[in-house]
């Protein structure tokens, strides 16, 4: 089966006879990327599945109103990002704890996660990322893992390119300091 372009998929979606098939193709085309974007934010596999499902439910409901002033993928990323933030805020308020404690909980979840297949360096990087404030974390993930251009990130996050570059730069410095501190701790133990 040949892969449809976004434009073709949107045209098929607008036709009542091919709507379900078109949406299934959209999900197949973007599900993996959306899943991993969300996973890097909420960490837990089961929570990621829930947020991914909510993302595609919102996409289904809003696709008729999609104006195509951005790419379909950018639009889905924006929904996924907002759904992730909503989930994390609900987790924070539901438990009535500060965000720092949520970050610690996410680190613990990652450590205990059977689905995490990374080596110790990847685990350390993820722990460093989890120490970042929400916005810096998302900017770092989008730039480092998803290799998004600042212009595309700007459309997803509705933030200026300059602010994104600054956030990414600060995030990188914090991660470097976290990793350096950890290796100094290891050296001092020797």
DSSP H/E element including 109? helix 99-112
**pLDDT, tens digit (0-9, with 9 covering 90-100), for 117-169:** 556 777 788 888 988 998 899 999 999 988 999 999 999 899 999 999 999 99
Arithmetic mean of pLDDT, 44-73: 93
The ranges assigned to domains in the chain are 1-103, 118-190
**pLDDT, tens digit (0-9, with 9 covering 90-100), for 74-120:** 999 999 999 998 998 888 776 554 544 444 554 455 445 555 455 67
Arithmetic mean of pLDDT, 36-45: 90
* Residue 11, number of CB atoms within 10 A of its CB: 13
For 118-190, CATH number out of 3.50.50.60, 3.40.1000.10, 1.10.10.10, 2.40.50.140 equals: 1.10.10.10
Contact, 76 vs 29, CB < 8 A?
no
CATH 3.30.70.100 fits 1-103, yes or no: no
Helix (H, G, I), strand (E, B) or coil at 100: helix
**Residue 60 reports pLDDT greater than 70:** yes
* Residue 178, number of CB atoms within 10 A of its CB: 18
What span, in angstroms and rounded, lies between the C-alpha atoms of 53 and 74? Answer: 17
What span, in angstroms and rounded, lies between the C-alpha atoms of 22 and 15? Answer: 9
């Amino acid at each position: 089966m040949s892969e449809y372009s976004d434009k073709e998929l949107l045209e098929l979606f607008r036709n009542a006879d091919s709507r379900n098939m078109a949406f299934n193709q959209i999900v197949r085309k973007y599900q993996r990327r959306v899943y991993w974007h969300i996973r890097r934010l909420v960490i837990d596999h089961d929570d990621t599945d829930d947020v991914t499902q909510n993302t595609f439910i919102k996409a289904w409901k809003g696709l008729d109103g999609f104006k195509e002033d951005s790419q379909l993928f950018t639009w889905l990323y924006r929904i996924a990002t907002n759904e992730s933030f909503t989930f994390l805020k609900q987790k924070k308020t539901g438990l009535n704890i500060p965000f720092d404690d949520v970050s610690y909980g996410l680190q613990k979840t990652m450590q205990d996660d059977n689905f995490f297949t990374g080596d110790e360096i990847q685990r350390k990087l993820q722990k460093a990322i989890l120490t970042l404030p929400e916005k810096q974390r998302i900017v770092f993930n989008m730039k480092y893992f998803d290799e998004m251009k600042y212009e595309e990130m700007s459309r997803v996050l509705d933030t200026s390119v300059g602010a994104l570059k600054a956030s990414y730069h600060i995030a990188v410095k914090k991660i470097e300091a976290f990793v350096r501190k950890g290796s100094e701790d290891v050296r001092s133990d020797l």
